[in-house]
Amino acid sequence: MSETLIEIRGLKKEFLLSHTGAASLKTMLLWWKKRELEHLQVLKGVDLDIHRGECVALVGRNGAGKSTLLSLVSRIYKPTSGTIQVKARMAPLLELGAGFHPDLTGLENILFNGMILGLTRKEVLERTPQIVEFSELGSHIDTPVRTYSSGMMARLGFSIAVHVDAEILIVDEVLAVGDYAFEKKCYDFIDGFRAKGGTILFVSHNPESVLRVADRCVWLQSGLVKEDGDPSTVLASYQAAGADR
Amino acid sequence: MRENLKELWKFRELLFAMVERELRIRYKNSFLGFFWSLLNPLVTVAVMTLVFKYLLANQTDSFSAYILAAYLPFMFFNMALLDSAQSVLVALPVVKKVYFPREILPLAAVISNFIHLALAMVVFLVYLFVVWGVNGFQGFPFTWRLGFLPFLLVIYLALTTGLAFIISALNVFYEDVKYIISVLLYLLFFLTPIMYFSETVWYALKDRPSGELVYTLYHLNPIAMMATAFRKVLVQPGDIEVKSGAESIMVGSLPFNWGLFGVTCLVSLFLLVYGYHVFNKLKWRFVERP
């Protein structure tokens, strides 16, 4: 088996859930109300190894911990306990232009977003022509992002992310963006990325896209790995479990 | 803390890019750009000068210069804290998706405002120079004390950054913080020698019981002490009109209180370190706020 890129051991994540709603000074002043906070165990000890060149799909019901697991891998959360080791450059595929500033042009947003994804200024400037080309935005690239449609924004976001040259791509259910032609382009890119030995970790509720791109499927159920293996087998038992309900 | 600083250094290019972005956004849709941020203090100071020099008939020399020297730094302090209070909160959608050192957000807010202050200071020095020329080149406006200006700016930056760390972190969890801060800043404006002088305070207090104590307490406020320090450095000392008892008298400026200034420096450095510590303790919880 090839080299392990992501190594997850005994990963647990717990959230404090408040029933009082938005945070305010009121919650601080009423400190004794802290007892009302609920401890929510989202991940209850996950062990997972992701190897170079794998394309792993995470499936599971809402609240099973899929997105939490992706966030932990991207260092957004700190684990409650357990360890995660990531041994390669990693880039998240952002949702519809998260991090874009509406008043800046597409071009100006490329620079900033590229840098937030871990490129240096020089690297972003070198890749800007390819990013613009891939996004198919043409002359719109010089207009403020607030004038973009959501599809255009998603295309720009996707184009930046794929030019980061990450070895691991983290995708949280955003492949269904843009029109049919662009979707095809995304799948082509993913095929190319995989052919070059890239690793992908993604969450999806769409069985077709799982079968289309994944070569391994992990089923998470209430914070634990329920089944791990070949996509068609795992999907079959996942869907059977869903049908039982 | 050393680990965090190392990480921040690794991401320094992102910090610069974010400062650049802040500056760009501010002037994106306005034609006169940087001019606007100068116009505000200039108009304010013109009105203040009008009120004090003519309506209240205060005889102090170079009144406008005195006000500007204290008002420009205060404006920086004010804007930097208000901007940084919101900095993490508005960036939360990105913070929830990508990893980068979160301290970059308040830092960019403070630094972009600091660049404004630096530019405003240059304009102020040019203004002093022009006034000198208009007055027939009498009384050269700059002294050797001007050499202290960079030092003062660094201390002020440390003070502001430390507070910005604390405020931006707390504002994520308690959104009331920014309202409290804007009220406090408004009050602080009156508790700081901007429209008046530390000499005014001294002559009003010196004959009262425990007046000296109140004077000292007043200057333990780092912002008040810094306002006086900026005036000492930027403006050639002249005669100041103050009230002593019932009558108005003209007095020379008081000697600089190095002891109290030392306290301000120590407080500023402490706030910088403590603020960074608080921020680092809270930053992992930003994304999981209740």
Domains of chain A, start order: 1-88+167-175+193-245 (3.40.50.300), 90-166 (1.10.8)
SS3 percent helix, strand, coil of chain B, rounded to 5, is 75, 5, 20
- Cβ neighbors of B84 (< 8 A, separation 6 or more) are B105, B106, B109, B110, B164, B167, B168
Lookup result for tokens 């680990």: B3
Cα–Cα distance for residue pair B19/B9, rounded to 1 Å: 15
Q: According to the model, what pLDDT value does residue B284 have?
A: 87
Gap from A233 CA to chain B (nearest CA, Å): 31
Instruction: Please give the structure tokens belonging to residue B241.
Output: 């009109």
Short-list A33, A6, A3, A61, CA closest to A223 = A61
Question: Is the distance from CB of A50 to CB of A199 less than 8 angstroms?
Answer: yes
Residue A45 above 60 pLDDT?
A: yes
Confidence band, pLDDT 50/70/90 cuts, at residue B15 = very high
Question: Stretch A188-195: mean pLDDT, rounded?
Answer: 84
* Span between the terminal Cα atoms of chain A, in Å: 37
Confidence band, pLDDT 50/70/90 cuts, at residue A28 = low
Query: Does B6 reach chain A within 8 Å, measured CB to CB?
Result: no
Query: Does A112 reach chain B within 8 Å, measured CB to CB?
Result: yes
Question: Stretch B83-99: mean pLDDT, rounded?
Answer: 88
Cα–Cα distance for residue pair B126/B236, rounded to 1 Å: 15
3-state secondary structure B246-290: CEEEEECCCCCCHHHHHHHHHHHHHHHHHHHHHHHHHHHHHHHCC
Question: Stretch A110-131: mean pLDDT, rounded?
Answer: 89
Instruction: Please give the structure tokens belonging to residue B150.
Output: 């960079």
Helix H or strand E encompassing B57 = none
Instruction: Please give the structure tokens belonging to residue B218.
Output: 């007043």
Instruction: Please give the structure tokens belonging to residue B83.
Output: 């901007």
Question: Is the distance from CB of A68 to CB of A228 less than 8 angstroms?
Answer: no
A80 half-sphere exposure, CB direction, 13 A CA radius: 16
Gap from B197 CA to chain A (nearest CA, Å): 37
* Closest in A24, A98, A121 to B13, CB measured: A121
User: How far is CA A116 from each of CA A175, B12, B99, B107, B272, rounded to the nearest angstrom?
Assistant: 21, 11, 8, 15, 25
Instruction: Please give the structure tokens belonging to residue A151.
Output: 């599809």
- A76·B95 Cβ contact <8 A: yes
Query: Does A157 reach chain B within 8 Å, measured CB to CB?
Result: no
Residue A15 above 70 pLDDT?
A: yes
Gap from B12 CA to chain A (nearest CA, Å): 10
A48 forms beta bridges with: A8
Q: According to the model, what pLDDT value does residue B208 have?
A: 83
Chain A residues with CB-CB distance to B289 below 8 A? 23
Residue A25 above 80 pLDDT?
A: no
Query: Does A75 reach chain B within 8 Å, measured CB to CB?
Result: yes
B127 half-sphere exposure, CB direction, 13 A CA radius: 16
Determine which of A182-186, B83-87, B198-202 has the lowest per-residue pLDDT on average. A182-186
Query: Does A18 reach chain B within 8 Å, measured CB to CB?
Result: yes
Confidence band, pLDDT 50/70/90 cuts, at residue B25 = confident
Cα–Cα distance for residue pair A202/A214, rounded to 1 Å: 9
Question: Stretch B141-151: mean pLDDT, rounded?
Answer: 86
Helix H or strand E encompassing B224 = helix B222-234
Per-residue model confidence as pLDDT tens digits over A197-231 = 888 888 887 888 788 888 899 988 888 888 888 88
B92 forms beta bridges with: none
Question: Is the distance from CB of B284 to CB of A78 less than 8 angstroms?
Answer: yes
Cα–Cα distance for residue pair B146/B36, rounded to 1 Å: 27
Question: Is the distance from CB of B159 to CB of B222 less than 8 angstroms?
Answer: yes
Gap from B111 CA to chain A (nearest CA, Å): 17
Cα–Cα distance for residue pair B152/B230, rounded to 1 Å: 7
Task: State the sign of the Cα–Cα–Cα–Cα dihedral B97, B103, B106, B110.
Answer: negative
Q: At what angle do helices B63-90 and B104-134 cross, to 10 degrees?
A: 160
Confidence band, pLDDT 50/70/90 cuts, at residue B87 = very high
Pairing mode, strands A224-229 and A38-51: unpaired
Chain A residues with CB-CB distance to B97 below 8 A? 74, 76, 92, 94-95, 98-99
Cα–Cα distance for residue pair B163/B78, rounded to 1 Å: 11
Question: Is the distance from CB of B102 to CB of B95 less than 8 angstroms?
Answer: yes
Q: According to the model, what pLDDT value does residue A35 have?
A: 54
Residue type at position B144: W
Q: What ipTM was predicted for this assembly?
A: 0.79
Query: Does B175 reach chain A within 8 Å, measured CB to CB?
Result: yes
Gap from A101 CA to chain B (nearest CA, Å): 9
* Closest in B95, B97, B289 to A92, CB measured: B97
Pairing mode, strands A216-221 and A224-229: antiparallel
Query: Does A80 reach chain B within 8 Å, measured CB to CB?
Result: no
